[in-house]
Amino acid sequence: MDFTGKVAVITGAASGMGAATAREFNAAGGEVVIVDRNGELAAQVAAEIKAGPPLVGNVGDSAFCQKAVKTTLDRHGRLDVLVNAAGIIVRADALNTSDEQWQRVLNVNVSGVFYMSRAAVTVMKQQGQGAIVNFGSIWGEVGATGVVAYCASKGAVHQITRAMALDHVKDGIRINAVCPGEVNTPMLQSERSEPVTPELLQRLAETVPMGRLAEPVEIARVVLFLASDAASYMTGAMVNVDAGFTAR
Ligand SMILES: NC(=O)c1ccc[n+]([C@@H]2O[C@H](COP(=O)([O-])OP(=O)(O)OC[C@H]3O[C@@H](n4cnc5c(N)ncnc54)[C@H](O)[C@@H]3O)[C@@H](O)[C@H]2O)c1
């Protein structure tokens, strides 16, 4: 995959799959703009891949998203790829999900994708080309216990992906979603009621047909494919990268 001369904005690029995607774009010759609310981790990834200063803020804030796209244009004069990887999880059923948690998950996971995508599409439409890859989830496709706000948010991401793909197909913009299964990132280990032990990780791995968790780079490679011209006939697709989880 060759992204020489292409500019990719990646949200959530300070950690996990966003960071893995930033590394892969960089290795493929692309210019990466890192967007994340965690300034310290974002600066580490930026230094590692020699990207410009990260844009630190909350993707759930529409004004921040518009500014992130404007700064990208000021720096690079173009925007070819947007990857929406920023996301959060609350592990609770409805009875244990507060109004604040519900609003927070929807704000980051749904509004964040919408605000960043709307800002990017404005620019991509003028350019006559562009690609967006959203992070959906297996939990956007099938249900799961104890993650109701997260499931709702990822279902919405899948539908934003389909609706925007159709709206902007004539603008030369392709919009797809990658839907990971169980991936070994800080999020996988966060917000759990029991301690994260090797036994817990093994139990999680055993829920997956391949019998193991994914490494972030295994998802990042699919993101790069979807963002590349190799995926020229793909838009509005939900691409499961889940080792067979949703095949059952
Ligand atoms: N880990 C999994 O098993 C899994 C499975 C399916 C989908 N996903 C999705 O993949 C994406 C990446 O997840 P990950 O596992 O790499 O998580 P992660 O926690 O390692 O990384 C998420 C990043 O998003 C950033 N972020 C969170 N809220 C933000 C906000 N409001 N504004 C800007 N940045 C913000 C965090 O600072 C962090 O750097 C998420 O959308 C997640 O929902 C994860």
pLDDT tens-digit readout, 146-182: 999 999 999 999 999 999 999 999 999 999 999 999 9
pLDDT at 48: 98
Mean pLDDT across 137-144: 97
213 lines ligand 1 (CB under 6 A): no
| pLDDT exceeds cutoff 90 at 7 | yes
Spacing of C-alpha 75 from chain mean position:
22
Q: Which range, of 2-6, 102-106, 130-134, 187-191, averages the lowest pLDDT?
A: 187-191
State the catalytic residue, choosing from 114, 135, 150, 245.
150
Cα torsion 119, 125, 129, 133: sign: positive
Say how many Å lie between the CA of residue 113 and the centre of ligand 1.
12
Contact criterion met (CB below 8 Å) for 115 and 101 = no
pLDDT at 160: 99
36 lines ligand 1 (CB under 6 A): yes
185 lines ligand 1 (CB under 6 A): yes
Say how many Å lie between the CA of residue 11 and the centre of ligand 1.
9
For residue 194, what pLDDT band results from cuts at 50, 70 and 90?
confident
CA distance 164 to 13: 23
Give the tens place of pLDDT for each residue, 90-115. 999 999 999 999 999 999 999 999 99
Mean pLDDT across 212-217: 98
| Mean of the per-residue pLDDT values of the chain | 97
Say how many Å lie between the CA of residue 73 and the centre of ligand 1.
25
Say how many Å lie between the CA of residue 135 and the centre of ligand 1.
9
| pLDDT exceeds cutoff 90 at 43 | yes
CATH 3.30.420.40 given to domain 7-240: no
Laid out side by side, the sheet with 7-11 consists of 55-56, 31-36, 7-11, 81-84, 130-135, 173-180, 238-241
pLDDT at 192: 87
pLDDT at 96: 98
Name the percent of the chain lying above pLDDT 90.
96
Residue nearest to atom 40 of ligand 1 (CA): 87
Mean pLDDT across 29-36: 98
- CA separation (Å) from 73 to 58, 69, 76, 93, 121? 19, 6, 5, 42, 13
Altogether, the residues listed in the chain come to a count of 248
CA distance 12 to 15: 6
Name the percent of the chain lying above pLDDT 70.
100
Catalytic residue check, 115? no
Comparison of pLDDT for 18 and 196, the residue scoring more: 18
Best probe residue, ligand 1, of 178, 185, 242 (max atoms within 8 Å of C-beta): 185
Residue nearest to atom 41 of ligand 1 (CA): 87
Say how many Å lie between the CA of residue 77 and the centre of ligand 1.
27
Indicate which atom in ligand 1 lies nearest the CA of residue 180.
6
Give the tens place of pLDDT for each residue, 70-93. 999 999 999 999 999 999 999 999
Indicate which atom in ligand 1 lies nearest the CA of residue 186.
20
